[in-house]
Amino acid sequence: MVQLSPVITENESSKVHPGIHQLLQQYATIFQPPTSLPPAGEQDHRIELVPNTTAINVRPYSPTLDEHLRHLQLVFEKLQQHSLKVKESKCCFGVKQVEYLGHIISAEAVAVDLSKIECIKNWPKPKTLKGLRGFLGLVGYYRKYVRHFGSIAKPLIVVNV
């Protein structure tokens, strides 16, 4: 995964789609740290991206790159219009997959982050019932990614009861 900042060097610009590079340069001010506190008081924080629609109707992805660039420009315009800032370290553009909450999300599927699996593989052997329960809780989170998890874990679950 390539994480990009809005201020892109010449070496990095060759890795990014030209349309995304142009948008990041055009809206670089929204990535600058805030210079003042946010407005106080009763503020309506809803921003309609598409007029007369609710947030649930605006899709967070785009089927084509051109449509994605239009959506990205629309979001950047709204952020700039409302003087909102974006934390640069939380953004990545032009990537094929994203790491999120211990998973790798791509167009093909949601997969487990392999670094998390390495932690499970290297987990010390539980020596107490409490340690076994902790381990089962940890690996149980990933049960949907392991075929026949129930039958594999059954001997440990039986000991746990």
> Of residues 45 and 124, which shows the higher confidence score?
124
- Which amino acid appears at position 34 of this protein? P
Position of tokens 């003087």?
A: 83
pLDDT tens digit sequence for 95-111: 788 888 888 888 888 88
Q: Is pLDDT of 86 > 70? A: yes
Reduced to 3 states, what is the DSSP secondary structure of residue 40? Answer: coil
Q: How many angstroms separate the CA atoms of 111 and 9, rounded?
A: 32
Partners of residue 104 on adjacent β-strands: 99, 111
Q: Element (H or E) spanning 126, and its range? A: none
pLDDT above 70 as % of the chain? 76
The whole-number average pLDDT for the span 4-11 is 42
pLDDT for the residue 43: 61
Banded model confidence at residue 10, pLDDT cuts 50, 70, 90: very low
pLDDT for the residue 128: 92
pLDDT for the residue 14: 53
Q: How many angstroms separate the CA atoms of 108 and 71, rounded?
A: 22
Residue 66 tokens, joined: 């051109």
The whole-number average pLDDT for the span 14-25 is 80
Q: What is the pTM of this model?
A: 0.54
Banded model confidence at residue 66, pLDDT cuts 50, 70, 90: confident
Q: What's the distance, CA 112 to chain centroid?
A: 14
90 Cβ neighbours under 8 A, 6+ residues apart: none
Q: How many angstroms separate the CA atoms of 30 and 84, rounded?
A: 7
Q: In the chain, where are the structural domains located?
A: 10-95, 112-160
Q: What's the distance, CA 43 to chain centroid?
A: 27
Q: How many angstroms separate the CA atoms of 16 and 124, rounded?
A: 42
